[in-house]
Structure 1
Amino acid sequence: MPKKTSLISLLVVCSLWIMPKHANAQALIPHTVQLDAAKLEKQGLSLAQEAASLGQFQQYELALPRAKLASQLAPKSDRVWFLLGGLYLQTKDYNNAIASLTKAQTLNPKNAAVQFALGSVHFQQQKYQQAANFYMAGLKIKPNDSEGLFDLGNAYYMLGKLPDAIAQYNKAVSLNQKFWPAINNIGLIKYEQGDTQTAIQKWQSAVVLDKQAAEPLMALAVAYYTKGDQQQGITLGEQALRIDSRYANLDFLKENLWGTRLLADTKKFVELPRIQAAIQQSASQPAPR
C-alpha cells in the first residue's frame, strides 16, 4: 500500500504543473523566441567552412548536410551557395548544382568562379556549347584566368573546334608557363591529327614541368611504343602506372579527352604482358585524389 500511495501523490503533484488554475481562465500565451539574424548567419558561415574542409577530403556525405544548413542560415551569401553547388557537382547531382550556382550568380553576378562552375556542370552533362558560353561569360569578368581558358579550350575540343581549342590552351600557358595540362591537351589534339612528333614534344614538355604527372607520361609511353621504340615505351608506361594506375583504364582516359586514335593505340599497349603486370602490381595501391 505505501508504494501505491506514493505513486498517487506523485501524479497529483505533476498534475499541478500541467493543469490550468481555475482562478485564471486566460489561455496560455506561447513564448516567442527572438532570433538573432547576424548570429545565425555567422553560424551558417562556420558550417560552410566545415563543409568546405570535409569536401577537400572528398567526404561529401558529411559535407553536403552542413552546406545545405549553411545556405538556410546564411541565404544571402553567394559563397555558401557556390560551395553547395560545387559539392552537388562533385556528387553528380547536376540539377541541384545548377540551382545552387544560379542562386549564387543572382546574389553576385560578378563572381567569375560561379560562371566557370556552371560551365563545368554543363560540360559534365556533355552540353559543350552551353559550357563554352558560361566559360566565356566568366572570362569576360576575369580574362586572365588560366584555368578558365583551359576549360574553354576543352569545350572547343569537344565541339571539334580544334584551332580554337589550341588557341585557348596557348593563352593559358602564356599566363602560367607551368600549366602542363594545357600543354598535354595540345599533344592530344596533335596526336589525333597525325602529328605524332609534335605530340611527343608537348608531352615531354609537360613531364619536365611535373615529373609526377601520369597522363603525359602514359601518352608518351603509348606514342613511343607505337612508333617502334618499344622498350622506352614500356619503361615509361610502367612508371606512369606506378604513379596512377587509372591511366590503364580506357573509360577513364576517354573522360580525360583522349581521342579515338590514341585510345586505339593505348588499348594494344595495355594488353602487353609487362604492362598487365604493372597494372596488377599497382591495383592494391589507392588511386590519387
Structure 2
Amino acid sequence: MYKRIALLFTILLLNSGIAKRPAIAYLVPHLPNLDDRQLEREGNDLLGESIQLAQLQQFDLAITRAKLATQLIPKNPDAWSVLGGLYLADNKTDLSIAALQKAKALEPKESAIWFRLGNAYFQKKDYSKAIESLQSGLAIKPNVPGALFDLGNAYLMSGKKTDAIATYEKAYAQDKKFWYPLNNIGLIKYEAGDINEAIRLWKLSVAAATDSNGAEPKLALAVATYQKGDKEQGLKLGEAAIKLDNRYGNITFLKENLWGDRLITDTQAFLELPRMKAALAQGRSTQAEEKSPR
C-alpha cells in the first residue's frame, strides 16, 4: 500500500492553517494596486480557494490560484507548501520539489513541509532524499503514523527491509486502527517465504480495514491462502477483494503498491483462474455501468 498521496495531501492541506473560504471565483481575479495587508488577505483567499478546488479534484484551477498566491505573498511558506502539494497530487514531481524547497527555506521547522517533500522525492524514486526528508520532519514532529509509514516505504524501496519493518511497527504502535503498516510487513514476510506470518498480518489488516482499501490485504490473503492449499477459501477471498476494488486485478497497480516479485508471480497465476477471470470481468462491467450517463 503506497498510493495514498491524495489522502495525505488533503489532510496536510487541512492542517496547514489556511482558512477555508465559502465561495470560489472560477475566473482568476484581476487585482488592482494593493497594500501589503490587502495582498496578504487576497493571497490567503486564493489559497483557501485552491484548497477547495483540490478537494474537488480540479487541480489545474487550484494550481492557478496557488501560483498567483505565491506571487502576492512570496514570503509566506504556506503558499509555496500548498503549491508544492498541489503539484505533487497532480503528478508534477519536479515542480512540487521546487516549490517545497522554497517553502522549506522560509520555514525549515515545519514538519508538514518535510513530509510532503519526502513524498515528492519518493514519487521521483529518489529514495535516499525521501528518507532524509521524512526523517527531518519526524525529528520535528515524532511519532506521526502516516509519516512513519511513508518512511517505511522508502526504506523498503531502498532494500532496507529490517529498517522498513521496524518503522512500520512503530507506525502501527501509534495507531492500532492504522493497518497499512501491517499490510506492508506482510508483503515483506511473503517475499521472505514466511507465508504463515504474512497470512496472520493480512488477516489483522482485513479485520481493521473499513473501506475499499481493504481490497489489498484481502487479495494478498486470498493468494496466500490459495498457495497454502485452501483453494476454495482463497477463491472466495479473491472474489470479495475484486468486488471491493477491481483495480487490484491490475498487475501494474499492484507493483505500484510495492508488491514484490514472488507475490506478483503467484497473483498473476491466481488471477488467471476461471473464477477470478469471471470476477474481474464482472468488476469491469459494473465499473462501466457506473460511469455510463444516466
Shift of 1:34: 4.9
Shift of 1:56: 1.9
Per the alignment, residue 161 of structure 1 pairs with 160
Q: Deviation string for 1:207-232 (max 9, x for gaps)?
A: 11114311101100111112211111
Per the alignment, residue 149 of structure 1 pairs with 148
Shift of 1:263: 0.3
Per the alignment, residue 138 of structure 2 pairs with 139
Mean Cα displacement is larger for which, 43-52 or 162-171? 43-52
Question: For residues 127 and 82 of structure 1, what CA distance do their matches in structure 2 show?
Answer: 20
Question: For residues 276 and 49 of structure 1, what CA distance do their matches in structure 2 show?
Answer: 46
Shift of 1:238: 1.1
Higher RCO (C-alpha 8 Å, min separation 6):
2
Q: Which amino acid aligns with 1:259?
A: G
In structure 1, list runs of 5 or more residues that go unmatched.
1-32
Shift of 1:274: 1.4
Change (3 A) 1:124 1:34: closer
SS in 2 for 1:285: helix
Question: For residues 73 and 285 of structure 1, what CA distance do their matches in structure 2 show?
Answer: 43
Q: Which amino acid aligns with 2:247?
A: R
Per the alignment, residue 23 of structure 1 pairs with none
Shift of 1:253: 0.6
Per the alignment, residue 5 of structure 1 pairs with none
Q: Deviation string for 1:174-205 (max 9, x for gaps)?
A: 11111100010010000000000000000000
Question: For residues 267 and 160 of structure 2, what CA distance do their matches in structure 1 show?
Answer: 24
Q: Does 1:100 align with 2:96?
A: no
Per the alignment, residue 55 of structure 1 pairs with 54
Per the alignment, residue 22 of structure 2 pairs with none
Matches within 5 A, 1:1-289: 34-212=33-211, 213-283=214-284, 284-285=286-287
SS in 2 for 1:160: coil
Question: For residues 34 and 248 of structure 1, what CA distance do their matches in structure 2 show?
Answer: 55
Per the alignment, residue 24 of structure 2 pairs with none
SS in 1 for 2:39: helix
Question: For residues 210 and 90 of structure 2, what CA distance do their matches in structure 1 show?
Answer: 30
Per the alignment, residue 12 of structure 2 pairs with none
Shift of 1:74: 2.1
TM-score, with normalisation over the residues of structure 1?
0.85
Mean Cα displacement is larger for which, 69-78 or 192-201? 69-78
Mean Cα displacement is larger for which, 252-261 or 60-69? 60-69
Shift of 1:138: 0.8
Shift of 1:273: 1.6
Question: For residues 48 and 283 of structure 2, what CA distance do their matches in structure 1 show?
Answer: 35
Q: Which amino acid aligns with 1:67?
A: A
Question: For residues 33 and 60 of structure 2, what CA distance do their matches in structure 1 show?
Answer: 32
Q: Which amino acid aligns with 1:138?
A: G
In structure 2, list runs of 5 or more residues that go unmatched.
1-31
Identity %: 51
Greater Rg over alpha carbons, structure: 1
SS in 1 for 2:287: coil
SS in 2 for 1:106: helix
